[in-house]
A and B are shown apart, each in its own frame.
Chain A
């Protein structure tokens, strides 16, 4: 009894006690459903049960026109959000931390606020602002310029404006704060030695700030890649449902939803999910390799 207690309190066993909840949760709430989900992608799932059909779902996916649209939309959305959500917040953070900006605290507090609203509420706000009705904000602006009201959400160009604006609106502040935090970790003596070497502002930014912000950039990119690829609710709220004109708002997860839930084909939906997982892992893996951040061991050593 006493021995058992002693063992429990030993340094050898203690770490396992600490991580036990994680191991349990991993097995029960992640691994088991994941394996079931992947298995289902090889099955025909009906109310009656499941029947093996091999790779038929994947063969069908290869020729599925709408899946192609969904993948292209998701990848395009991811690429555009990366283009917007990495450089802009970085520059803003640098500007924010420069001595030039006054009342920083206030700006920081305000810029984070959009992230606190749920997608449901913020999506609703944006849909109403981009409404076809004459009272929608965008049409009020058009009217001020003497232009007729537009159906903003019916074509891809203007519809995606709303979609990307929603993303920029919600996440610029958050990403900026990540960069602000990253900047604070940079040793100021580096800039001082830069001054001594006669570097100008741009050179210091290019050769000191950007390289030293790399860990932050990698973190932001990793998160954005997955968030971009798995975007669904934003599109769902902007177009008030999973159907958008000419499928301009159809994403991979939206298609998964459409197949699995709206058309009751869970097996096919799981195949879509598996492909999404593969794409996300591949892009993130490539990105981490390219930036040289991959080796986890090295990371821990730091």
Chain B
């Protein structure tokens, strides 16, 4: 919005504009510095003695020495010379967790997006009796705390025999209400005539959903891919309950096993935490330009 269009004097206007630009841009620069600050502290901290950072606190301390030691320990698995067995073991574990997290996140994102897309499609593109009620239930599922469902859900997963499997982690969250809601809002704005055109061309109902509608929903897919990957990569409570096998642990569970007073693993913890942000950051940087686009026509339309 231009706030100064009503100013008659062109010169003052230009001057005002310049000051305004400086102030606004400066404000955002300051905000971004504030936002980047903890992450920079963390990043610098990851190059220092983990023990010291955990015991005495973390700050943007530019004087104390930095070294690559933590990262050398983190990657010890790939360059094991001169490392103790414990360090190499920890490094092996870390990359096992990392791999598990990557596989779990990729599977979750792909499955969740597909399933939620079809559900939203069914909720939006047709008129039928249960439609309103089902949509109401989508909203309702969002407002129940997970903790109250936890124990019964755990018992159920055990009975179904999918405890300790990726299926046990993924299935209960597959029909994510937020994602369905988002897709539905996005699709509401798409022209329904495309369906009829598809039918005339001899496409089946399912063919239309896949071949015609899916390609034009791409921005929604992209923005939900970020959200979904974020949720899955950072999720800990539920996977922790489902997995029994140490070899299946995800990165978040693994890092938490390091956060104890038993044994001295803080170097790995702090470097590993920072390195663990990387995949999600990469996904974000790839898809971020779709983020606002997806949001614009999506959830906020109300």
Contacts and interface: CB of A to CB of B under 8 A. Distances in A.
Interface of A: 9-12, 14-19, 21-23, 25-26, 28-30, 32-34, 36-38, 40, 92, 94-103, 106-122, 124-126, 128-137, 139-140, 169, 172-173, 177-178, 180-182, 184-185, 191, 195, 198, 200-201, 204-205, 209, 214-216, 218-219, 226, 230, 232, 253, 256-257, 260, 266, 269-270, 273-274, 276-277, 280-281, 284, 293, 296-297, 299-300, 302
B38 A129 contact: yes
Contacts of B175: 21-22, 25-26, 29
A256 B31 CA distance: 36
Contacts of A230: 145
Given A120-B236, A219-B300, A101 B28 contact: yes
B106 interface: no
B280 A200 contact: no
Nearest to B195: A11
Contacts of A214: 302
Interface of B: 1-6, 17, 20-21, 23-25, 27-29, 31-32, 34-36, 38-39, 41-42, 45, 52-61, 115, 118-119, 121-123, 125-126, 128, 130-132, 134-139, 141-145, 147-149, 151-153, 155-156, 171-172, 174-175, 180, 188, 204-206, 209, 230, 233-234, 236, 252, 255-256, 259, 273, 276-277, 280-281, 284-285, 288, 291-292, 295-302
A297 to B, nearest CB: 7
Given A36-B152, A184-B292, A230-B145, A15 B126 contact: yes
Contacts of B6: 195, 198, 200
Contacts of A281: 143
A10 B126 CA distance: 12
B301 A215 contact: yes
A205 B3 CA distance: 10
Contacts of B188: 300, 302
Contacts of B135: 296, 300
B52 A28 contact: no
A215 B302 contact: yes
B91 to A, nearest CB: 19
Contact of B292 (A38, A108, A117, A293): A108
A18 B280 contact: no
B149 A34 contact: yes
Given A26-B141, A95-B27, A125-B41, 10 more contacts: A11-B205, A22-B138, A99-B1, A100-B21, A101-B28, A116-B284, A118-B252, A131-B58, A200-B3, A269-B147
B234 A33 contact: no
Interface SS of chain A: helix
Contact of A9 (B35, B57, B204): B204
15 contacts: A10-B205, A14-B205, A21-B175, A26-B175, A34-B144, A99-B1, A100-B3, A113-B281, A122-B38, A128-B41, A128-B53, A137-B60, A181-B292, A185-B296, A195-B6
B38 A134 contact: no
Contacts of A177: 291-292, 295
Contact of A102 (B21, B131, B205): B21
